[in-house]
Structure 1
Amino acid sequence: MTVSGIDRLHSQLGKLEDMFPGYVTEIVEGSIVVNPVRPFHGKTIQRVWALLETQLPPAWALVSGVAFPFDDANEFCPDIAVIPAEAEAENRSAYPADLIELVAEVVSPESVRRDYEVKPRWYASRGIADYLVLDPLKSHVVTMWNPASDGYRGRDVIPYGPDLTVDSPLGKLTLTTGRLPVDPKARAVS
């Protein structure tokens, strides 16, 4: 796809987002994906954002819902991405994926496969040091680290409850998981 083709696609995605407020739009494996945002999704993002923001070194900043093109068929809008503060200050709608140091996605019923299977391959292939999957459906966090060209070499599943410390290149980051929302249907199934 040419640069003008990518610009056209960005324009189309922007129009879709305007037409469907309350939905997140991404390009995943060549398909345009539109997902509804649920209250637990947003609440999880807000709580994790607040925790991370106070712990990040000044040279780093958080962004959410902005585009990170990986190739012509994959452009993700992470729920939370940590990028250099200097880049964030440019206030753009899209950034190079190589800027991301840590990324977090919140699972929704529609995003399970993408968050657990598709995105880890892409995030790891770009050398993103840490990937967190916050899952209100299963009441746990999956941490992935040690990126390689075909995925992450390290992976832990931590139930919501205790504090989680991520030993990242940004320093030790602690997330309080006991206050993260859990889908009521997940409690019935667990």
Structure 2
Amino acid sequence: MIERATPIEQAAPPTFETLLRTVEEMDTPDGFKAELIRGKIIVSPFSTLRYLRRMRALREQLQAHAPEGHIAEIAPFLFRFSAAERAYGPDLFVADESAFDGEGRHVDGAALSLVGEFTSVSTRDADWTEKLDVYGRLVPVYMVVDMQDSEITCFWEPSPHGYRSRTTVSFGEALHVPEPFGFAIDTTGF
């Protein structure tokens, strides 16, 4: 008897809200985070040890120049972008502190004033394409710290079509961060 593939009735794909609830309820292993990327739940490891000093140096500089009422953090929070049906847990963020007053496990992406993603082999593609597109419509400043190319890129001026401006420097050079921050990041320790 020859085996034949039998089609299985496929239920409708899960909604964004269903996926978001699933991520909230997941028991993600220690050292990993879950995000909604391209309509799928993606689990990836936290940054490696060598990223810590760079992340801390960037966070401290951003906190000193953050807009009034905003905090710079590297804590693992999920930010939702409902219009794009995405939810990301950025490596570093600056957001309105009042957005964390509520219950729940995810924050509205509109609270963000800056996002920083540190690339790794497993996340680099999403950081440069998927996240750039989504952040570029809402988040005032997006920084990609490219650990593979030893460069940092700052995007700003979000629009319905993505960011209008960008600057890239090699580690060791100063990087201007536009308003609402308005200062130059010292990357010599990167």
Q: TM-score range by the shorter chain?
A: 0.7 to 0.9
Q: Deviations over 1:22-64 (max 9, x none)?
A: 1222110112212223112333222211221222244111233
Q: For 1:56-98, what per-residue CA distance to the aligned partner results, in whole angstroms no more than 9, with x for missing partners?
A: 2441112332111113741101112211122235575311011
The answer to whether residue 108 in structure 2 is matched with residue 96 in structure 1 is yes
Where do 5+ consecutive residues of structure 2 fail to align?
A: 1-14
> Structure 1 residue 158: deviation in Å?
0.7
What RMSD in Å do the two structures reach over aligned CA positions?
2.1
How many matched pairs?
Answer: 173
Name the counterpart of 2:22. Answer: 9
Alignment of 1:33-182 (within 5 A): 33-37=42-46, 38-64=48-74, 65-71=76-82, 73-90=85-102, 93-126=105-138, 128-169=139-180, 171-180=181-190
Q: What TM-score comes out, normalization by structure 2 length?
A: 0.81
Structure 1 residues 26, 163: CA separation in 2 closer, same or farther (over 3 Å shift)?
same
Percent identity (aligned): 21
CA–CA distance in structure 1, aligned partners of residues 174 and 168 of structure 2: 13
Which has more helix, going by share of residues?
1
More divergent stretch after superposition (31-40 vs 54-63): 54-63
**Paired position in structure 2 for 1:183:** none
Any idea what SS the aligned residue of 2:164 has? strand
CA contact (8 A) 2:151 2:168 kept: yes
Aligned to 2:175, what secondary structure does the other structure show?
A: strand
Q: Which has the larger radius of gyration?
A: 2
TM (norm. structure 1) is: 0.81
CA contact (8 A) 1:164 1:175 kept: yes
Change (3 A) 1:91 1:139: farther
8 Å Cα contact 1:40/1:136 also seen in 2: no
Q: What residue ranges of structure 1 are gaps of 5+ in the alignment?
A: 181-190
